[in-house]
Structure 1
Amino acid sequence: MTSSQPDDDESEEKPKAPEPEDKATEDASEAPAAAFEQAEEATLAPKSSDIFMLARQQNFPVALKLLEAYPDLWQSTDEDGHSLLHWAALVGNKDFVLAGLGKGLQVDALANNKQTPLMWAVLRDHVPVARLLLDSQAAVGAKDSLGATSMMIAVQHRSYPSILLLMHRGSGIRDRLLADGDKNGCTAAHWAAYKGDLTALKLLHYFKADLQALDSAKMLPLHRAVCASQTSVVEFLVEQKSQPQARNHEGKSCIDIAAEKHDVNMQALLKRLEQKKADPFAGGKVEPEDVESGAKETKPKKDGMFKGLMQDKAAHKIFPTFWLVCVSLATFQYIMDIRQMSYEVAPTTAFLFELLVPMSLAVFSFVALGDPGKVPARPPGNSGVEELMKAFDSDAADTNPPDMNRLCTTTWVLKGLRTKYCVQTGACVEEFDHYCVWLNNTIGRGNHRQFVGLAIVEFLAQVMHLRLCLVMASTLVPYQGFTQFTWGVVTGYPLLTMIVLVHCITAPWVFMLTLHQARLVMMNLTTNEMMNMHRLLLWMWDNRCQVSPTREKTYKAEKSIPADPVFGLPCIDCHLQNC
């Protein structure tokens, strides 16, 4: 009997096909290749130092691409504890700051010296970045390791727009911002005085900062200014009731500090201020800094007689009085000596002279007593400061930032392109041309055309009277020889001789003045612009290099001098139409 056996296909296993050798080799090599690629990728991954190097080089587009691939690097800091937000704020890259805030970077990230990104933004006066940080609730009153605040840093680096922005955002804690002191107790006013920054001091005084505050060494801002030999701010601080005789913790007054430093100029200034304080009618006043005045010298110069006369406002009345006396003498001599015969010898000239004299007196009175175009001073709280603060704290300032130089720190108005503060007038004058001592008034928008007319009328009147005098002299004294004729005129008509000499001296000067004004009208320039042309051209070139291409056309239209000053007929129309 046979037993059944399973089938062959069920009982026997089918042999497996052998694997190819190349596949086995590939699988064996994949493991070390993958490990090598991972190691190479780890080696090529950027380090935090690479990102900060790109930030220092202002290569933020590349840094952003790397940070997108490696987002963990956003939270890294450099060797001094500065975050990427610090470096972006320092160079004013608003897009990178916005990206960093979106990635969760702390707006008040502290470096090792406890400085915040806001401090770095105001240090370089990057107002758009500072505004963005403040929108993200950056602390305005934060202090670094030395006790300095953002306000102090802005004052130290003359960042006036940042000062206005901080005061606008910190309106609720304005008193604390102004009163905060560093580790030495020095406030922002102390730092402004130490740096010799008159503009910052005036801004701080506008916001009612205490200019008599004492630091840890019991020094006033005046003491700090004397220590730094900053003569430009000493007079202003004394005018604001700072006492030069006040003593610090060492018992030294400002004069003692100046003597200890062997600062002869400062000693002379303090003594002069003491004398002025003793004599309140001595005059003198601290005037605002002017862009057109250039760098001021710290060494006092010996003033000449004419310059001293110009600084004495009471003495300015001598010049118009002298002009009126000359006109009165000429009129008196004409009426008493030659009027009757002049109508027989030269009736047309006599008629024109009698017509031009009252005309010149009328125009003289109008120009001398009229308004040259003064801009009324504005009170604190409703002045150009508030306008600038609102302008700097708006998005429009990113593309069209306001010009801080247009703020007059005496009258607190925003000056136009041709508006200038006049020291003698004590006000800003629109289209300022010059100050005329002969009129004891400023020449500006309100009386410039009348001034040009006065010069023309005055010259014609002098020519008419000079011709009358010469014609009448030849009629009254028969000519027999030059010596005899000259002696006869001098001895017989001394007043006529004196007036002829005055005409010979002043008429050419008035004629040149007329030509000068006509030339400036054709060139569309003012006397002030002509005198400061070298400074204006340098300033325009420096600013043109910083203007973006989108604003270049607008900039040229607003601030450039006409390209063709010779064939300037439109300039004459502009002058006549008071444009």
Structure 2
Amino acid sequence: DVDMMDQNGMTPLMWAAYRTHSVDPTRLLLTFNVSVNLGDKYHKNTALHWAVLAGNTTVISLLLEAGANVDAQNIKGESPLDLAKQRKNVWMINHLQEARQAKGYDSPSFLRKLKADKEFRQKVMLGTPFLVIWLVGFIADLDIDSWLIKGLMYGGVWAMVQFLSKSFFDHSMHSALPLGIYLATKFWMYVTWFFWFWNDILFCIHFVFIHLPFLANSVALFYNFGKSWKSDPGIIKATEEQKKKTIVELAETGSLDLSIFCSTCLIRKPVRSKHCGVCNRCIAKFDHHCPWVGNCVGAGNHRYFMGYLFFLLFMICWMIYGCISYWGFHCETSYAKDGFWTYITQIATCSPWMFWMFLNSIFHFMWVAVLLMCQMYQISCLGITTNERMNARRYKHFKVTTTSIESPFNHGCLRNIIDFFEFRCCGLFRPVIVDWTRQYTIEYDQTSGSGYQLV
């Protein structure tokens, strides 16, 4: 019984919250569905009370994520927030107040239900970038000469964002907002393409070379983004019986080591896997958690993620080309005639919305291009993942020097590319297929392919 009390009337979770300032063993106990709101026998302090008393910020975050009651009172009628205020700990006070606000405790009645609705909060966080990106461009594009009026309107946008963020944003905003920004940016870019660029290029002899490739690229982009976002990235699954069997086997062999055992998922970790703190699950051949696709990137979707970056880069290039073409059709200025600063001023005045879309395109082009190059370098030249490159010194099977990382998974540039993308080319290549959800050692069968062969 994980909720069994000792002679002091304390449960294991209470002791973990009071004595251990690390994620384990609290995270392990939470995995076993321990009661987070149970009070001790004598003081009626919950685990959250004990964590506050100990100033255990790590465990406080875990307990709040697990749904601990921030209004629970001990025998003296004190809540965890009251104890935090007594200790004048700003971090604890802020986090406990944010937890109350997320549940709508301190809000007017008409907002309380909305704040308590996690799905509604998620929609607000995803939808806010759509509204903000549109309003920024819309206000700039208004035919109003007074910058004072526009400044006041932008002030209204800022006030709206502040209200939404304080009312509905929670700890998941770090994952939801980047995804919302990506979706919103691409949505408005496509709106701009079809409502601003389409007619300019429709009667042009380059229609076949502009619109059709753009549409084909968009189909590939949507497909790879969807697979990156919604497909299984390589989640390592196990039944309750398998978890118990794994714990017993590792304990009996003296191998219950956190380097090979995940104390949250209660599984033996395959080689190259890692527990994602955002998704709270172990991912095979873990690369990184990408907020831009709202998912982990691992063995199950890494190839689709590379396709997403590739086609996204081309889509942005088309968008930049469209902006420049639009200015050529509609703005009476040119870089060669007016020079850089005059040209920038003229195009920004000619169509503020178009200039806003151009700035968004340039921003996304930079991070997508850099990320794509880094990923290709790691895949082809190093044979490692982003996680392995950043934490190579933690893994015994990597040889790390001040200038290089020697990976046992690096089989040469051509072989690495063939294996990663599983290229076959009508039998010309034979990639090595590895089930990384069940691979526990660095030695694996490579007889399924020799990189490439001539037929």
Q: How high is the TM-score relative to the length of structure 2?
A: 0.61
Aligned-pair distance for 1:521?
A: 0.9
**Equivalence map 1:173-252=2 (5 Å):** 175=1, 179=4, 181-182=6-7, 184-196=8-20, 197-206=22-31, 212=38, 214-237=40-63, 239=66, 241=68, 245-248=72-75
1:391-433 Cα distance to aligned partner (Å, 9 max, x none)? 322xxx15xx243345445544444333334455454333232
- Give ranges in structure 1 of 5+ residues lacking alignment: 1-174, 285-303, 545-554
- Please say if residues 31 and 265 of structure 2, whose CA atoms lie closer than 8 Å, have aligned partners that are also in contact: no
Show the counterpart of 1:448: 302
2:407 aligns with one of 562, 571, 577: 562
Aligned-pair distance for 1:436?
A: 3.2
1:491-534 Cα distance to aligned partner (Å, 9 max, x none)? 7777766655554444344322221111121212223334x33x
AA aligned opposite 1:571? N
**Equivalence map 1:534-545=2 (5 Å):** 536-537=392-393, 539-540=394-395
1:292-339 Cα distance to aligned partner (Å, 9 max, x none)? xxxxxxxxxxxx999978436377334213213213322443321123
1:334 aligns with one of 187, 194, 197: 197
What percent identity do the matched residue pairs reach? 21
CA 1:275 to 1:443, structure 2 compared with 1: closer, same or farther past 3 Å?
same
Show the counterpart of 1:280: 116
Give 3-state SS (helix, strand or coil) of 1:246's partner: coil
- Please give the alpha-carbon distance, in whole angstroms, between the structure 1 residues aligned to 2:278 and 2:30: 23
Show the counterpart of 1:390: 249
Give 3-state SS (helix, strand or coil) of 2:28's partner: helix
- Please say if residues 244 and 270 of structure 1, whose CA atoms lie closer than 8 Å, have aligned partners that are also in contact: no
Give 3-state SS (helix, strand or coil) of 1:428's partner: strand
Give 3-state SS (helix, strand or coil) of 1:316's partner: helix
Show the counterpart of 1:520: 378
Give 3-state SS (helix, strand or coil) of 2:24's partner: helix
CA 1:417 to 1:488, structure 2 compared with 1: closer, same or farther past 3 Å?
same
- Please give the alpha-carbon distance, in whole angstroms, between the structure 2 residues aligned to 1:428 and 1:330: 40
- Please give the alpha-carbon distance, in whole angstroms, between the structure 1 residues aligned to 2:321 and 2:182: 25
1:404 aligns with one of 258, 262, 269: 258
Give 3-state SS (helix, strand or coil) of 1:374's partner: coil
CA 1:328 to 1:382, structure 2 compared with 1: closer, same or farther past 3 Å?
farther
Show the counterpart of 1:80: none
1:118-165 Cα distance to aligned partner (Å, 9 max, x none)? xxxxxxxxxxxxxxxxxxxxxxxxxxxxxxxxxxxxxxxxxxxxxxxx
**Equivalence map 1:455-534=2 (5 Å):** 455-464=309-318, 466-467=320-321, 470=324, 482-483=337-338, 486=343, 502-522=360-380, 523-530=382-389, 532-533=390-391
- Please say if residues 179 and 209 of structure 1, whose CA atoms lie closer than 8 Å, have aligned partners that are also in contact: no
- Please say if residues 342 and 468 of structure 1, whose CA atoms lie closer than 8 Å, have aligned partners that are also in contact: no
- Please give the alpha-carbon distance, in whole angstroms, between the structure 2 residues aligned to 1:190 and 1:389: 25
Aligned-pair distance for 1:437?
A: 3.5
AA aligned opposite 1:430? A
Q: Which structure is higher in RCO with an 8 Å CA cutoff and minimum separation 6?
A: 2
- Please give the alpha-carbon distance, in whole angstroms, between the structure 2 residues aligned to 1:469 and 1:213: 62
**Equivalence map 1:2-13=2 (5 Å):** none
AA aligned opposite 2:74? R
2:224 aligns with one of 363, 376, 389: 363
- Please give the alpha-carbon distance, in whole angstroms, between the structure 2 residues aligned to 1:471 and 1:252: 66
Aligned-pair distance for 1:449?
A: 1.4
Show the counterpart of 1:551: none
- Please say if residues 222 and 244 of structure 1, whose CA atoms lie closer than 8 Å, have aligned partners that are also in contact: no
2:234 aligns with one of 363, 373, 376: 373
Show the counterpart of 1:90: none
Give the root-mean-square deviation of aligned CA atoms.
Answer: 4.5
Give 3-state SS (helix, strand or coil) of 1:372's partner: coil
- Please give the alpha-carbon distance, in whole angstroms, between the structure 2 residues aligned to 1:251 and 1:465: 61
Show the counterpart of 1:266: 92
Q: How high is the TM-score relative to the length of structure 1?
A: 0.50
CA 1:566 to 1:241, structure 2 compared with 1: closer, same or farther past 3 Å?
closer
Q: How many residues align?
A: 356
1:317 aligns with one of 158, 174, 180: 180
CA 1:383 to 1:198, structure 2 compared with 1: closer, same or farther past 3 Å?
farther
Give 3-state SS (helix, strand or coil) of 2:296's partner: strand
- Please give the alpha-carbon distance, in whole angstroms, between the structure 1 residues aligned to 2:348 and 2:276: 45
CA 1:511 to 1:207, structure 2 compared with 1: closer, same or farther past 3 Å?
closer
AA aligned opposite 1:507? F
- Please say if residues 352 and 464 of structure 1, whose CA atoms lie closer than 8 Å, have aligned partners that are also in contact: no
- Please say if residues 316 and 437 of structure 1, whose CA atoms lie closer than 8 Å, have aligned partners that are also in contact: yes
- Please give the alpha-carbon distance, in whole angstroms, between the structure 1 residues aligned to 2:67 and 2:78: 20
Aligned-pair distance for 1:208?
A: 6.3
CA 1:392 to 1:556, structure 2 compared with 1: closer, same or farther past 3 Å?
farther
- Please give the alpha-carbon distance, in whole angstroms, between the structure 2 residues aligned to 1:402 and 1:492: 66
- Please say if residues 284 and 298 of structure 2, whose CA atoms lie closer than 8 Å, have aligned partners that are also in contact: yes
- Please give the alpha-carbon distance, in whole angstroms, between the structure 2 residues aligned to 1:309 and 1:423: 12
Larger Rg: 1
- Please give the alpha-carbon distance, in whole angstroms, between the structure 1 residues aligned to 2:77 and 2:170: 39
CA 1:335 to 1:561, structure 2 compared with 1: closer, same or farther past 3 Å?
same
